[in-house]
Copies of this chain bind each other. A is one copy, B any other.
């Protein structure tokens, strides 16, 4: 039953507003819309084919997520980037992700172990198939996100998971920002493997330490190779 010909757009979610929100979010994270760039309605209207009101709703939602900056009576713009913001996001991620990993290792059942193992497996297969700059590959991005999501999925708190997801998105935008200037991705595959093993063997202290290093070194990488973009604002 192919409905793809019937519904022209609206790939995600039932309402147009939810779909636009999703597409805008993706585009901001991927830096297809540059940080600080003004988001004028005429432009968005043409680009996304939705009306003022619908776009406004999407922008409002993204403003609450921290990806868009709303200036009352003066429109919206893509949230600017800065060293300070990168530090804050990294810091908050460590605080929360560390706690969620601990809880997941404490509470995770068989399904959790299976999810962690299988998402890592898919991630590795994608990396093997195409070992170059992974951020350019949408499939890698999804698989990477799902592996990290699986790791914390057994924490038992939807509230903290939602907060974590927002911070993950904000951090991923910084990764994209530096992707064009980074010489070579470091050994992420190995790190992911080690994190998985620590988690499955219920070695919470080790998993926590690995995750913290993983997050911080990614952030350091961004600060190093995209530094010129962070100060220019």
Contacts and interface: CB of A to CB of B under 8 A. Distances in A.
Contact of A64 (B15, B65, B159): B65
Interface stretch (A87-95, A136-144, A172-180): A87-95
Interface string A110-126: 00000000000000000
A14 B72 contact: yes
A130 to B, nearest CB: 34
A109 to B, nearest CB: 18
Interface stretch (A35-43, A54-62, A198-206, A211-219): A54-62
Contacts of A162: 66
A158 to B, nearest CB: 7
A73 interface: yes
B92 A14 contact: no
Nearest to A56: B57
A44 interface: no
Interface of A is mostly: helix
Contacts of A61: 60-61, 63-64
Identify which of A60, A63, A162 gathers the most chain B CB atoms within 10 Å of its CB.
Answer: A60
A154 B89 CA distance: 17
Interface string A87-106: 01101100110010000000
A13 interface: yes
Interface of A: 13-15, 17-18, 53, 56-57, 60-61, 63-66, 72-73, 85, 88-89, 91-92, 95-96, 99, 157-160, 162-163, 167
19 contacts: A14-B72, A17-B60, A18-B72, A53-B53, A57-B57, A57-B60, A61-B61, A61-B63, A64-B64, A64-B65, A66-B159, A66-B162, A85-B159, A89-B159, A91-B157, A92-B160, A92-B163, A95-B99, A163-B163
